[in-house]
Amino acid sequence: MRRELSAGQFALAMNVPTLLFLGAVLAFPVVYAGYLSLHKVGLAQLRRGEFPFSGWENYERVLEDPLFWIAVKNTLVFTAITVTSEIVLAVAIALLINQAGVWTSRITRFLILLPYAIPPICNGLIWSFLYNFQFGFLNRILFSTGLVQEPVNWAGNPDTALYAVTVPYIWRTLPFAIILVHAALQGIPRELYEQAAIDGANAWHRFRQITLPMLQQIIAIILILRTAFAFAVFEEILAITQGGPGDSTWVSAWYSYKISFSPPNNFGMGSASAFILALMIAAIALVYMRLVYRRVTL
Amino acid sequence: MFRHAAPARLLLHVANLAVIAAILLPVVAVMIGSIQSEKALQADTRRVLPLEFTLDNFVVILTQGEQKGRIFEQATYLPDNIKKFYRAFANSLIVASSVTLLTLLFGSLSAYTVARLRFRWTLFLMQANIVSRFVPAIVLMIPLYIVIRSFGQLNSLSGVVIAETGFLLPYAILILAPYFDAIPSELEEAARIDGCTRFSAFFHIILPLATPAMAACGVIMFIVSWHELLIPLILNARPDFMTLPVVIASLVGDVFVFFNLMMAICLLALAPTVILVVLLQKYIVEGLAAGAVKG
Amino acid sequence: MNDDFIAKWELSRRRVLAGAAGLGLAGASGAAFGQGAGPWATPPKSKVDRLNFVVWTYGDIYARISKQFETDWGVKVDSTISSFNDHPTKLATMYAAGEKIDVSQSSPFSFPNFVNQGLAEPIDDLPGAADYIKDFTPFTKQVTSIKGKTWGLPYFSAVWVWNYNTELLEKAKIDKPFASYEEFIEHCVKAKKDGVARYPIMWVAGVGLEQLPGTWYQMTWNRGGAFFDKQGNHMLGAGSVARETLKWWANTFEKGLDIADPESLKVQFVGSAKAFGAGNNLYRGPNHHYTLNIANDPAQSPKAGKIKVLGSPGEGKTMGVTHVYFLCSANRDKEWAWKLLQYLGGKTKDGNYTQAVGLAKDAMLGSGYQSVMASDVIKTGWAPWGDVPEILRIWDKAAYIGEVCSSVYQPWHFPWTDQLNIEVQKCLTGQITADACCDNLIKGIADAKRKV
């Protein structure tokens, strides 16, 4: 009889590195962030390593800061716009590239992952260049096509800035959603369509009665994943508007970043605000878990 | 599947062209932006194509500031970090490769156990992995900083590698697990009957079969790691250890100073992952789909 | 004079010549030349193998001075360089992590904060410090003097000036640039009406510590107001100069006369110089004088040579700042850190204000040292880019920014300025009135105090 590990021991041994990494890099820091949020943590305290306990004070300060609530509002608006746009666009474009008979669809399909390949910070800077009021590329194109006479202030106008920032974000993250919908489309049996066509349904009916219901699951997944990620948007804000003009593009992640890393470096408050953001996202994660785990047993 | 009538086809072509234009817009912008000089940019603010082209932006970056070219001759305020391009590129390469290797290695070990051995705690681990994907990097920043510091790994590439590996491991496991699950378990059972240990069976039989999975996961890990900004930004203060995104982010403060230089360096930074995506699209598509859809 | 002293003097003279030749430095013509074996030429007794400093970026000035330090003293120097806005963050994270930092840098706005948090060390008792302090300009003294001690050496000084575009002025058939705010509005409205400039005025109104706030501070000061009185009470109430200035300023934007370039809200000093160099605006609002070297750089600016400096209206009251280097309390070795600090902000081994001279010649920066400001370096160094006598005249009329807005000395100034940027931008874009803005800021003082 060979001496070898039992199933349980084997599983444990194989997972040791993973457990170590998850513990050190994810689990512990998250708990520690919670711990920090209950203490007074400034530069001097961090260096000394002693943090006086301050109870709920950091949370109080965060919750009574009007800028925090503006950031939450902006984040919610941003998320709502990007997620709904992405779902609509992902379904539309996935259907588009699924048209095997149309040769331009094949080109589109070839290019579809390009935005995924661009580093977020580069994306932000490129759009910063596109949006620039004086000499931005977008305005140049609009002049050349005669669509506008005056330069448009995309990102410098507080009324439009938040919407302006959603565009690069959607551009960058859309391929992911498209791929998912596209994969789901492949899973719809052809017979359903053929049967429906025989029964006299036109394209729109086929879409509404067959495609859309079959895509429900994947749309729900995209909805949840993208919502959670959009809540944490950061790079585009950093590159394009830095929260401005005014407070129109202050989002939650930016708020936590500024509170922690701009003087007077109140890391305690920063941790508290980040923790609140994490809790909001955790709620979304739980919904995701219930949804996915109800269907599959993996 | 269905043949479209002519007007419908036209509509579809137009739609495709619109999507293609939207995809290519930023790419075209960055390319045109990087071959201009600031002066040309401002001299005529309404032309799409500049009057004069120049490769000086690239020259400055690729010669690390030694050769300033015509347009930067007198500029005394060139951002210092521009000169660290090669170093930053190398750092990004080292970090991304290491993270890819480590996540594939540890991820495959874990994914295999999660797929095959259904203990309560492995299922719980899977759930933990799913939840981990949702943790926003911002909440980890300060504690991570302190943890990495206590390992003495601040301002080092290894610290960044450790942090990114931990951050991306759940995603790797999520991508790999369905692949392992799809491999029929009869193969290992046969091997074990022949006297193989569990690990042998895993290593010699399953792993080779999972190569497409590893390729898919590996490419995604590389891309995500190459793009990562927050973690190296916080953990590495010294220019010697900055990765490309960090160098680029450090130029944001000067973004209105040298747009064209910024575009040039962005172009250089995005080239590797674009090439990867173009070459390995198939794998990426599979990997992305696997990582979100179950079963 | 004893033999030792003479011997040391001879040694350092040889070193000076060798050093200058070896490094091929364009020598310090006219500046306070080597004064012999001052304390800056003596090596500390201890030994270190490396030193570092944490600063914000400015071209390659740091590479050069680091190399010179290594050549002169044989100690390697590392630098951590970030953008200006990121610098406080970078410094904070490094300090909090327990890293060794020998020398760092600060704007006047963060400096009281840093001192209060214990990041800096006073320099009064260090060898040679007294001489430096004697040579400080008034601005410099006001920045570095906190709680009765001196806390740093100057990096550069700047004053706020206006700019105008001679070409557009001609096109608009205006003889002389404005001398009063009424004339200013007249000129701008005329230029816009005649089609000479769609947006005659480019303001510096981008988010920052001294960019947007600086414009407001400067114009308020010029009109005879201030932001806080001597007791520390705010002066933002109804009818105050600050409030009225804001009203006037906001009126130049879209919701009012619409003569202000929308780009103003995004640009900082250098950015506005570049934008102004495109030649679409008649005037550029209060900005740091040295950015003329960008607007008038033939390689970068289409309008090089056509941008001129202009003093402020009325009596010409304006303000200035000095940015400083300081000795960090997290240093490896105090004496060596002091040595490095001197290379950045004081005298190098050869007794010259090498860095300050270089900055004046290459980047039109002012110095925090009276001897440098009075020397030929300024007169010849600044000449390619602007009218030097005019700038120096403006300099004489400049008060330290701390007199304009004394909250810079308070630790809560930083978060309050964050709010100020937001509220003022909302006011300029017409989302709130100047009254609402000032009222919010008054309330914000209490909020900011609690964030500390």
Q: Is the pLDDT of residue C5 over 70?
A: no
Ranges of each domain in chain C: 27-158+321-381, 159-320+402-451
pLDDT at C24: 32
Residue B266 to residue A25, Cβ atoms within 8 A: no
A87 contacts chain B (CB < 8 A): no
Residue A261's closest CA among A244, A238, A240? A238
ipTM for this prediction: 0.87
Distances (CA, A) of A188 to A182, A213, C346, C352: 10, 10, 75, 79
Residue A7: what residue type?
Answer: A
Instruction: Closest CB to C301: pick one of B39, B77, B234.
Output: B39
B241 contacts chain C (CB < 8 A): no
Determine phi and psi for B57, rounding to 5 degrees. -55, -45
pLDDT at C16: 38
C59 pLDDT band (50/70/90 cuts)?
low
B72 pLDDT band (50/70/90 cuts)?
low
Distances (CA, A) of C8 to C2, C11, C20, C35, C433: 10, 5, 18, 12, 67
Which residues of chain A make contact with B255, given a CB cutoff of 8 A?
Answer: 125, 128, 239
Closest Cα of chain B to A112: distance in Å?
8
Mean pLDDT calculated for residue range B2-16? 81
C15 pLDDT band (50/70/90 cuts)?
very low
Structure tokens that stand for B44 in this block: 């005529």
**Residue holding tokens 């001197």?**
C342
B71 contacts chain C (CB < 8 A): yes
- Mapped onto helix, strand or coil, the DSSP state of residue B189 is helix
CA distance B17 to B26: 15
pLDDT over 90 percentage in chain C: 50
Counting one residue from A and one from B, how many pairs have CB atoms under 8 Å apart? Answer: 314
- With beta carbons less than 8 A apart as the criterion, state whether C355 and C153 touch: no
CB B169: neighbour CB atoms within 10 A?
25
Closest Cα of chain A to B202: distance in Å?
11
Structure tokens that stand for B176 in this block: 């790999």
Decide if domain C159-320+402-451 falls under CATH 3.30.70.120. Answer: no
Q: In the complex, which subunits touch A with 3 or more CB pairs below 8 angstroms?
A: B, C
Instruction: Closest CB to A121: pick one of B114, B245, B284.
Output: B245
- Mapped onto helix, strand or coil, the DSSP state of residue C227 is coil
- What pTM was computed for the model? 0.83
Residue A102 to residue B9, Cβ atoms within 8 A: yes
Mean pLDDT calculated for residue range A56-64? 91
Determine phi and psi for C324, rounding to 5 degrees. -130, 160
Mean pLDDT calculated for residue range B210-220? 91
Instruction: Closest CB to C85: pick one of B83, B154, B253.
Output: B253
Q: Is the pLDDT of residue A227 over 60?
A: yes
C135 pLDDT band (50/70/90 cuts)?
very high
Q: Is the pLDDT of residue A28 over 80?
A: yes
Structure tokens that stand for B262 in this block: 């910024």
The CATH code for residues C27-158+321-381 is 3.40.190.10
B90 pLDDT band (50/70/90 cuts)?
very high
Q: Is the pLDDT of residue C257 over 80?
A: yes
Which residues on adjacent β-strands are paired with residue C161? C287
CATH 1.10.3720.10 in chain B: give the residue spans. Answer: 82-290
Which are the contacts of B34, defined by CB distance < 8 A and separation ≥ 6? B57, B58, B260, B263, B264, B266, B267
Q: Is the pLDDT of residue A68 over 90?
A: yes
Please write the tens of the pLDDT for every residue from B127-163: 888 888 888 888 887 788 777 777 777 778 988 999 9
What topology does CATH give the domain A62-295? MetI-like fold (1.10.3720)
The mean predicted confidence, pLDDT, of chain C is 85
CA distance B246 to C93: 15
- With beta carbons less than 8 A apart as the criterion, state whether B265 and B242 touch: no
pLDDT at B295: 35
Q: Is the dihedral of CA A261, A266, A267, A269 positive or negative?
A: negative
C26 pLDDT band (50/70/90 cuts)?
very low
A257 pLDDT band (50/70/90 cuts)?
confident
Residue C198's closest CA among A286, A80, B275, A151? A151
- With beta carbons less than 8 A apart as the criterion, state whether C303 and C202 touch: no
CA distance B31 to B266: 9
Mean pLDDT calculated for residue range B260-272? 90
Instruction: Closest CB to C207: pick one of A133, A242, A267.
Output: A242
Residue C151's closest CA among C32, C288, C319, C323? C323
Residue A278 to residue B48, Cβ atoms within 8 A: no
Q: Is the pLDDT of residue C354 over 80?
A: yes
Determine phi and psi for C318, rounding to 5 degrees. -145, -175
- With beta carbons less than 8 A apart as the criterion, state whether C210 and C109 touch: yes
B223 pLDDT band (50/70/90 cuts)?
very high
Residue B125's closest CA among B173, B162, B88, B89? B173
C46 contacts chain B (CB < 8 A): no
A285 pLDDT band (50/70/90 cuts)?
confident
- With beta carbons less than 8 A apart as the criterion, state whether C111 and C75 touch: no
Ranges of each domain in chain A: 62-295
CA distance B31 to B26: 9
Which residues of chain A make contact with B147, given a CB cutoff of 8 A?
Answer: 24-25, 28-29, 32
Please write the tens of the pLDDT for every residue from A121-133: 999 989 988 988 8
Please write the tens of the pLDDT for every residue from B189-198: 888 788 778 7
pLDDT at A72: 94
Please write the tens of the pLDDT for every residue from C194-203: 999 999 999 9
Residue C84 to residue B74, Cβ atoms within 8 A: no
pLDDT at B164: 93
Please write the tens of the pLDDT for every residue from A178-225: 999 998 888 888 888 888 888 887 878 888 888 888 888 888 888 888
C165 pLDDT band (50/70/90 cuts)?
very high
pLDDT over 70 percentage in chain C: 91
The CATH architecture of the domain made up of B82-290 is Orthogonal Bundle (1.10)
Mean pLDDT calculated for residue range C108-135? 89
